[in-house]
Amino acid sequence: MEDDNVLAGLIRDYSDALSDRRRLQALLLDFFPQDKRKRNLLLIAFDDGIVDEMRGLAQIDKMILHRFVRSIEQGYDVRTKSAETAVKAWAKAMGLSMDGEEGQKEEAPVSMGEQIAPSKKEWVPCESNSLYEYEETSRGLRILKYADFDEPVVVVPNIIEGKKVIAVGNYAFKGCVGIEKVIVSEGIEILGNGAFLNCRGLKEVSLPETLRGIGSTDATGCPKILGSEIKYEGAFEYSGLESINVPKGVKYVGENSFAGCSQLKRAVLPDTLKEIRENTFRWCKSLVEIVFPQELDIIRISAFEGCDDLQTVDLPEGMTSIEEGAFAGCKSLESIYIPDSVIEIGGGKGTGFLKTFGEPKERHADFTIRCNLGSYALQYARAQQIRCIQA
């Protein structure tokens, strides 16, 4: 990625480039039309929140560079060298000095006026009197187990014995049925699989702005009912949550994350989340409101299956695919808006026996697809004999 001056010019000449992802994507296509890989790497750094954070910095030292690179590596499965190249390209384009080099952040290339975002707020050290089992990783501590008695309110610390906590590991609070509220301290970036599994009394959780991932790709070893695939137990699966607001920095929400949360009524997902994964809200019988990501691309298999109280759904423009069983068993669902950008309904890697909106006898009597003339959704509705109207 040798075109730092070109990227700097893009930032300087287009004041909305760093505040509108679609605009940035279009500009990158204009400036680097033959290099899809370069465009994707630059967009990944933008989507990861790295560019926003850079706008609040004067320079990038080795620790900050390492953190940025690791974030891209872990979140997007990008090689170290490629991730570092993308981070350095943005840093140079924004006039940031690196690795102790002289120089300051230059004002001219950025020229964002009112659109310059404030720097990320610093997290405040928060220790705890509660007992935890933990292990050290290369980036900080990972909490392995909450080893104390259940309290109504638990604050998950970001410091233990003077060392920074970076993650809450798999099953750390599993079965803590007496906990009613959890406050996850700023600075923590990952919640593991099953972190709060079966915490039936847990009604409220406060998640930090530093959080990047809920669940992980580590296998739990539990086989699925069908097939030989691995089942990932969700971070809050079968908990008593009544609402959830996922912070904007989260780029990965794992399978089953909120499955079986029968009291969950409202869920807000961050705009930059690309997919709602398999079974994410399955059997959330009380769910009535879901705020979808504006950049959502795909809803995976059975993501909202069995959400009995869901009545109306408006999918965001730009998404392309709704997989099989995504809204099966939503017996109160009266209507769903499907945008023109959707070109696949019912695809996926499942067994194929689940219809996207369930069997006809399972649907609301007046279930309707709202769409536009000429859209794939209209073709699908006709083929499946589902009532459709103009959006």
What per-residue confidence (pLDDT) applies to 117?
35
pLDDT greater than 90 at residue 288: yes
Question: How many residues are recorded in the chain?
Answer: 391
Within 8 A by CB and 6+ apart from 21, the residues are: 43, 46, 47, 272, 295
Strands 289-291 and 312-314: unpaired
3-state class percentages of the chain: helix first, strand second, coil last, to nearest 5: 20, 20, 60
Q: Given this model, what pLDDT does residue 14 score?
A: 83
Rounded CA-CA distance 287/208 in Å is 23
354 forms beta bridges with none
Per DSSP, the three-state class of 341 is coil
Average pLDDT over residues 218-247: 71
At residue 74, the pLDDT reads: 74
pLDDT at res. 99: 62
For residue 155, pLDDT beyond 60:
yes
Sign of CA dihedral 5, 37, 315, 266: negative
DSSP 186-235: TT--EE-TTTTTT-TT--EEE--TT--EES-S----EEPSSSSPEE---T
- 75 in helix, strand or coil? helix
Phi, then psi, of 106 in degrees rounded to 5 = -85, 140
pLDDT in tens, 317-354: 999 999 999 999 999 999 999 999 999 999 877 766 78
pLDDT tens per residue, range 31-49? 877 777 888 888 898 888 8
Summarised one tens digit per residue, pLDDT across range 356-366 is: 999 999 899 99
Q: How far is CA 108 from the centre of its chain?
A: 33
